Structure 1
Amino acid sequence: MDKEQDEIQFLGFFGIFKESFTLVSALKKIFFQITAVMIVPLSFIYLAHIEISDIIFTDILRDEYILDRIQEGTQTYDKISDVLSSEWTAFWFFKIAYFIFFLILALLSTSAVVYTIACIYTSKDISFKKVISVVPKVWKRLMVTFLWSFLILFAYNILTLSILVLWLIMMGPRGFGLFGALLLTLMYMAGFVYITVIYHLASVVSVLEDVHGLEAIIKSKGLIKGKLGISAIIFMLLNTLFFGIQTGFEYFVVLGYGGGFSGRVGYGIVFVLLLAILMLLGLTVQTIIYLICKSYHHENIDKSSLSDHLEDFHGEYVPLKSKDVQLESFHV
């Protein structure tokens, strides 16, 4: 960091990205290793699942189309029906396996980046080997926080959908009913961004403090006050870039507009690397936002206390405790 901790709260939109690039530049080698070992595979899995899902689902649609035009009870109908059942089974097994591997790599990547930035922040000696040794312990805390966030978001989606359906049933899909449905949709989107921003901040809290799960979410809800606007803007920007990379991959690779096989492979590599860079940037930014929120609420962290708690003492990862939150300036 190139600013005093009591000044970091004043970082604006461009300042946050500047600090993020500064942090990554401070330890290029370790961040490159983290990206190569965790984030690039994460990006590859995400984009590859789009391609594989498209292939499997195309086969399913083709067989359903054929099945609709064959008389039931015939041998051909039964054969295609069995093939279709196998394809649906393969599709859902693939989706489940993808979700598990993606989640594990995402949480490991988050743990690695946040821990590394904390070490930079405390001027601790850090190596990739040490990051790898600590990350699995931090990962367990992040999993609990993710599960709570997932449950909250799931309940939020169910509640919003129920209200929207009831509204359309009572008011109809025209006139005032349609206007109300659009208003509910906008409110839902705002709530979705709010919950997601809190979850990202809670992920950092789970790594650096002694709370995780629902406690980390409640903690991050308090921390984000006063910085919600800029956090939401950055979140939407990063997600717009994410959507742009995904759309480009679907256009040039999945749909084949990138040319022949070699062209599609080339575009695929480019989009995997772009997505990996974006993910690294996103993880770094969310850690910077955590530090900004701590500074804004005058909960600045004592460097020496954080350094002690980051030590891998007898193989046990010990997170920062609330009592260790004190006023302290820092540099990197």
Structure 2
Amino acid sequence: MDKSQSEMQSVGFFGLYKESVKTIFSWKKIFTQITLTFILPLSFICLAHIIVDDILNSRIEHFEDNKNRYYHRRESSEWIRYWTITFVYLTFLFLFSLLSTAAIVYTIASVYTGGDVTFKKVLKAVPTVWKRLAITFLLIYFGFFIYNVVSGVVAAIAIVWAVTTPNPTFGDIVLWILFILFCIGFIYITALWQLASVVTVLESSYGLKAMRKGHDLIKGKRWLSWFVFFVLYCAFAGILILFYAFTSKFTFLTIIVGLVCLFLLMNLLLLGFVAQTMLYLVCKSHHGEPIDKVGLSTQLGGYLGQEPVFKVSKDVEIGYTQSHPHVVGV
């Protein structure tokens, strides 16, 4: 991160990814340690769930096709197993997402302030950081749930209307428009989630306040944030589709492709976590909100028990701007 905060304002789509990659390679040792400790398990969980989910769905479909009472009992047992495994999967997904976010945002902030960041310090800070992040994550998940429920109801009504309308071509066009709007809204909520997560780590706000501050930050950079996460989602979906296509039948090629997908997903998630922090810095610069290097350093020290957490300069807070005698370099 060799750009000053004022220069970050002009960083665009490609520039944001460029800064993210440069940061990763400049501190490749600690990012490798974080990746192997937190992101590798997260990637493995995502891919393993595809295999397990496919096996369980096949078993459930097999028992559904049989009307025998014994098979009916087995079907009920498989559904219980399915939802139990899904719950365990979501729990570990939630946990490692929290830990990865906390570790990477803390690391980049430490690099930003010029502090001495080590993996040992990161491990010490993460337990304090993730407790605050958990509240923000749960609220965002609840928001995603409401959004998906409402979207599902709208989609069901639209499909019924499209099937019964005398003009099927027009109905198809409406369905595609609704799908595009759903994707735009979904990715926008994702961008809001990522910014709120960074705000939770670097500022005093968390939960709903962090979400509101993330919403304020994203103003003026909506299209940048949308395209950044749209590309990440497309790459993520592409890796999962590639993995699924080669795991339907177990062969030696399946192992090779599986390892390649694991490597690609691991690096994609690392890039995504770093990019969300870079987007935060770009948005802060766009709004002309200076970040006090000393104040942020003190704040990060609070996670290590060196200082009271968040007893720092207001320059770190969103919405606070003032003439500053200096601009901190990134």
**TM-score normalised to structure 1 length:** 0.89
Residue number in structure 2 paired with 1:73? none
> Residue 308 in 1 paired to residue 302 in 2?
no
Contact 2:243 2:261 in 1 (8 A): yes
Residue number in structure 1 paired with 2:96? 105
1:324 to partner: Cα distance: 2.8
Residue number in structure 1 paired with 2:148? 157
- The code of the aligned residue for 1:199 comes to W
- Which of these residues, 198, 201, 223, is aligned with residue 204 of structure 1? 198
Contact 1:309 1:319 in 2 (8 A): yes
Residue number in structure 1 paired with 2:248? 255
**Residues 203-225 of structure 1 deviation map (CA, whole Å, 9 limit, x = unaligned):** 11111110011111110111011
**Where does the alignment leave 5 or more consecutive residues of structure 2 unmatched?**
none
Residue number in structure 2 paired with 1:137? 128
Deviates more, 1:265-274 or 1:90-99: 265-274
1:2 to partner: Cα distance: 1.0
Residue number in structure 2 paired with 1:72? none
1:39 to partner: Cα distance: 0.3
Q: Distance in 2 between matches of 1:63 and 1:172?
A: 31
Q: Distance in 1 between matches of 2:50 and 2:162?
A: 38
Q: Distance in 2 between matches of 1:231 and 1:112?
A: 22
Residue number in structure 1 paired with 2:35? 35
**Residues 107-165 of structure 1 deviation map (CA, whole Å, 9 limit, x = unaligned):** 10011001000000001111111101111111111111111112222222223333444
**Residues 65-118 of structure 1 deviation map (CA, whole Å, 9 limit, x = unaligned):** 2x14xxxxxxxx232222222111111100000100111001100110010000
Flag the 1:242–1:319 CA change in 2: closer, same or farther, 3 A.
Answer: farther
Contact 1:306 1:320 in 2 (8 A): no
Residue number in structure 1 paired with 2:289? 299
Contact 1:134 1:317 in 2 (8 A): no
1:185 to partner: Cα distance: 3.0
Flag the 1:167–1:88 CA change in 2: closer, same or farther, 3 A.
Answer: closer
Flag the 1:139–1:173 CA change in 2: closer, same or farther, 3 A.
Answer: farther
1:318 to partner: Cα distance: 2.0
**TM-score normalised to structure 2 length:** 0.90
Query: Which consecutive aligned stretches of 4+ in structure 1 deviate over 6 angstroms post-superposition?
Result: none
> Residue 224 in 1 paired to residue 215 in 2?
no
> Residue 272 in 1 paired to residue 262 in 2?
yes
Residue number in structure 1 paired with 2:273? 283
1:180 to partner: Cα distance: 3.8
- Which of these residues, 215, 237, 243, is aligned with residue 209 of structure 2? 215
Contact 1:149 1:199 in 2 (8 A): yes
Q: Distance in 1 between matches of 2:203 and 2:24?
A: 22
Count, aligned residues: 319
- The code of the aligned residue for 1:25 comes to F
Q: Distance in 2 between matches of 1:163 and 1:242?
A: 26
1:240 to partner: Cα distance: 0.7
Residue number in structure 2 paired with 1:195? 189
Contact 2:243 2:257 in 1 (8 A): yes
- The code of the aligned residue for 1:207 comes to V
Q: Distance in 2 between matches of 1:36 and 1:4?
A: 30
**Residues 3-31 of structure 1 deviation map (CA, whole Å, 9 limit, x = unaligned):** 11111110112211111112112221110
Flag the 1:302–1:29 CA change in 2: closer, same or farther, 3 A.
Answer: same
Flag the 1:179–1:265 CA change in 2: closer, same or farther, 3 A.
Answer: closer
Question: Equivalent residue of 2:47, what SS?
Answer: helix
Residue number in structure 1 paired with 2:230? 236
Contact 2:45 2:93 in 1 (8 A): yes
> Residue 184 in 1 paired to residue 178 in 2?
yes
Q: Distance in 2 between matches of 1:187 and 1:54?
A: 29
